[in-house]
Structure 1
Amino acid sequence: MGNGPKSLVDCGSFATLAKKASELEALDRALRQTLPSPLREQVRFANLRNDRLVFLASSPAWATRLRLMQTQILATAHAIGTSASSVTVKVAPQPPVVIEPDRSKPLSPAAAAHLQATAASLSDPELRALFLGLASLAETTDSQAKTGR
């Protein structure tokens, strides 16, 4: 059988998949807790395939550091009842952290008044409409009273 994707039928029941995922997560926690702090954050346990513990490292440097700890990792694995004879480390950069931009504060009524005054002085109708659209986003004193601002 190849290394490609399996048919859903070949994967077993959802309960079986959930149990395997839970076991792998517990093994990940047990193995990584013995690693030094900076390394622990840069590697993830991925799988137990045959007798190999497969880890993912965020860079080649972290992969090398993890490989140097193979003896300790295997000792920990044996201590918790996992029969593994080797450690494989693959480099897989962690996905970038998506930072959501802070929502800006709503425009004050004074800012809206300035935008409306500027819009009134503009001769370009498209630009005037844009300024008026911005002014319409202003928080009114009624909505400020309702939200307690």
Structure 2
Amino acid sequence: MFVMSPKRNPTSSATAGPRPAAECITLGTLADRARALDALDERLRRLLPAATARETRLADVRNGRIVFLASSPTWASRLRLHQAALLAEARTALGGTVERFAVKVAPLPTVPPDPTKPKPLSAATTRHLRATATALQDPELRALYLQLASIAGDDS
């Protein structure tokens, strides 16, 4: 079982106004929460028809409520038809702490495309990097420029 509510830092001061993010939650805790939400999202959307699963995402679990995003009011309505099954599965996954279900209509977060191969450096760029490297006094910086020029693989 994983905890879905982030833990607050009890040592932070009770001053008014926004606090720095570092005082609210650690980066590791935030990453763990994101992984847990992703895992729960995948688990819950397996219960849905493929088309509904494509158009909806789990957004949050907090204070006994699961919140989904739907790409349109139509998909939100279709998701609500599966509310009982989603709540039951969420209770199983989270130990019975989920009592309410909500759907919000909003654009779904986009999945970044797979990184593409970087474009090779042009021969002209390679020549300019090498020329700059020869003019530099700092040996470390010269080595970095030459290393960058070598990426092109063109010895012209």
- Classify the TM-score, shorter chain: 0.5 to 0.7
The reply to whether residue 16 of structure 1 matches residue 50 of structure 2 is: no
Counterpart pick for 2:67 among 31, 54, 66: 54
Contact (CA 8 Å) 1:70, 1:86: kept in 2 or not?
A: no
Report the number of matched residues. Answer: 95
Structure 1: gaps (5+ residues): 99-149
**Residue of structure 2 in register with 1:36 after alignment:** 49
CA spacing shift, 1:97–1:27, aligned 2, 3 Å: closer
> How far apart are 1:97 and its partner, in Å?
9.1
The reply to whether residue 79 of structure 1 matches residue 92 of structure 2 is: yes
Moved more, 78-87 or 62-71: 78-87
Identity %: 46
Post-superposition Cα deviations, 1:58-102, rounded to whole Å, max 9, x if no partner, equal 00000011112110101111222342111100000236899xxxx
Query: Counterpart amino acid of 1:90?
Result: K
Runs of 4+ in 1 over 6 A off after TM superposition: 95-98
Which entry has the higher C-alpha Rg, 1 or 2? 1
CA spacing shift, 1:40–1:10, aligned 2, 3 Å: same
Cα distance in structure 2, aligned partners of 1:85 and 1:73: 11
**Residue of structure 1 in register with 2:106 after alignment:** 92
Structure 2: gaps (5+ residues): 1-17, 113-156
> How far apart are 1:6 and its partner, in Å?
6.4
Alpha-carbon RMSD across the aligned residues, in angstroms, is 2.4
SS class of match (2:48): coil
Cα distance in structure 1, aligned partners of 2:109 and 2:63: 27
SS class of match (2:94): coil
> How far apart are 1:22 and its partner, in Å?
0.8
